[in-house]
Chains A and B, each alone.
Chain A
């Protein structure tokens, strides 16, 4: 049983997607091939915590978020929301779980139904869960996301709203069932800079006023720094490092984390320039080589990295690293 203050516990989560190669190979090859999108991930999110999951595209961060919410079925592992194990829920229980855990998608130009007006779109979860009182609850939700006066937005359609307003509508829909936990999948990456911070501020407000915890999925470490209490760096389906965000950025220990950080350009023409510390790009996630997944790009790769996969070890308070270079 996870400790009391922990809201989300993820244990050894795996999501493998089978690779379809063709009918002949399906029939005759001995081994099935998989994309190991998420391959043994462990972490916990405390109540009121914003937990960041960062990495390059294809590292498995979005899949992790979706499997936790059971929008995708896991290959193996356990996820607890409070005391409830998510993967063993029956269909009816899953319906109840949906009230407690919600998601905000990346692109508000895609995630809103273009043929549904704002009222119906936000009220839909209330109808699905048979809650009623739609008028009042939708009005409240719109007020919370600062789209006021609410009546002015009821009968508008997504195309009449700006990107920032759309994302507010998406947030309103995610919070209307009063969830404890929201997966926010790159919620500001499609928005203009001047709009981003107002959406982030809104997420903070929901955390402070309603006690919502977030899994914040991002590729942008500068935003993670502003938003996340803790951050994990993912590479090819595994965590390579996890720490409080300040510690992670100040004292990055895994060579991959270090390379990510030095690659980020700084908005200061007198500051350091972005630097390329590692070569190449993320290799194909099919048929991963044995040993450390990062060794093909790692400037410090040693003999052992070829043979053994490193474990996550503790290198400081709340600081975990998976690299043969570091010892506990």
Chain B
């Protein structure tokens, strides 16, 4: 059995304009120690997937169906109380997008982390502070600086502190939502290096949510590509980058600029991502797909396992 096993998950939002099918029947498996990159364009449902796992959806969201098995429980049915007490923060935690800018300016950075620890564990304030200092050395900040305020930290240090906070209660799974997006390239490299080393050192399992394919290539051993609420392709990273089978994955990779290697000519994907209140019929990618056939408009392709661990949802791949 997988470490984290998501089956047929559907998360919709009710809005004034109609029901937004943000996550629409996705399945994913993660093994212990895996780093899974969840990639896709804005609005494709990456963050909603993460928030569903963490049980942190806003009140207008409905989880219509699906199972999220984590260890021997289904996170969707154990109930908020148990999830809060035993799972969130302790067994799984999240690094939110832009969280480094959400540190409270009037509290010391270390104090904010002790708050997270004290909420979840019955230990003294002193030992919580000790833990903070350990965490700071783990993420490469001088522990003495735990007593400083957020404005005394640089951007990279704030992001390190946020990562330290996510590790505060020693979780098994960390979900990081765009952890390097707003950072400059050198700081970005520092954070990516930190995430790689944490995964090795602590045996963490990770989900990295990003729109930047090179971040996935840099840190993840598995990748899933999302488009308009669906996972269109997933496999180990090497397969995704070297033998992408879905036309959308192919388009993304062909258009992704690289600083080295062969220069690729531009082959833009035409059109833009659909709105998820009334997504296209059949295959959601068909209006933009260069290979669209009659069937693509009428019938939604099933996700099939092309070879072991390589899943694709495309009519072209039907045997």
Contacts and interface: CB of A to CB of B under 8 A. Distances in A.
Contacts of B256: 193, 267
Contacts of A159: none
A263 B268 contact: no
B189 A274 contact: yes
Contacts of A195: 268, 272
B263 A226 contact: yes
A268 B266 contact: no
Interface in B210-247: 211-218, 220-221, 237-238, 241-242
Interface in A33-75: 56-57
A56 B186 CA distance: 8
A268 B262 CA distance: 12
A57 B155 CA distance: 11
A225 B257 contact: yes
Given A192-B42, A192-B211, A201-B266, A264 B185 contact: yes
Interface stretch (B48-56, B84-92, B163-171, B190-198): B190-198
A197 B12 CA distance: 31
A266 B214 CA distance: 5
A172 B184 CA distance: 30
Interface string B248-265: 000111011111110100
B114 to A, nearest CB: 26
A5 interface: no
B156 interface: yes
A58 B167 CA distance: 31
A159 to B, nearest CB: 12
Interface in B161-187: 184-187
B189 A275 contact: yes
A29 interface: no
Interface residues of B, number: 48
Interface in B256-310: 256-261, 263, 266-270, 272-273, 288
B190 A221 contact: no
Given A219-B184, A266-B217, A273-B218, A281 B155 contact: yes
A237 to B, nearest CB: 16
B268 A197 contact: yes
- Interface magnitude class on chain A: 35 or more
Interface in A138-176: 162-165
A324 interface: no
A260 B241 CA distance: 24
A196 interface: yes
A134 B315 CA distance: 47
B41 interface: yes
Contact of B41 (A56, A193, A263, A265): A193
A193 B156 contact: no
B184 A193 contact: no
A104 B214 CA distance: 26
A223 B257 contact: yes
Nearest to A204: B266
Contacts of A262: 189
Contacts of B187: 281
A37 B190 CA distance: 25
B266 A197 contact: yes
Nearest to B194: A276
Contacts of B288: 194
A266 B255 contact: no
Given A193-B211, A261-B259, A267-B217, A281 B156 contact: yes
Contacts of B215: 265
Contacts of A259: 186
Contacts of A301: none
Interface of B: 41-42, 154-156, 184-190, 192-193, 196, 211-218, 220-221, 237-238, 241-242, 251-253, 255-261, 263, 266-270, 272-273, 288
Given A265-B189, A276-B193, 4 more contacts: A262-B189, A263-B188, A267-B253, A282-B184
21 contacts: A164-B272, A192-B272, A192-B273, A194-B269, A198-B266, A221-B259, A225-B258, A225-B259, A226-B257, A226-B266, A260-B186, A263-B185, A264-B259, A265-B188, A266-B258, A268-B261, A269-B218, A269-B237, A270-B241, A276-B190, A281-B186
Give me the 8 closest cross-chain CB pairs, A-B, nearest first. Answer: A263-B189, A198-B268, A265-B218, A192-B41, A222-B257, A265-B214, A269-B237, A56-B184
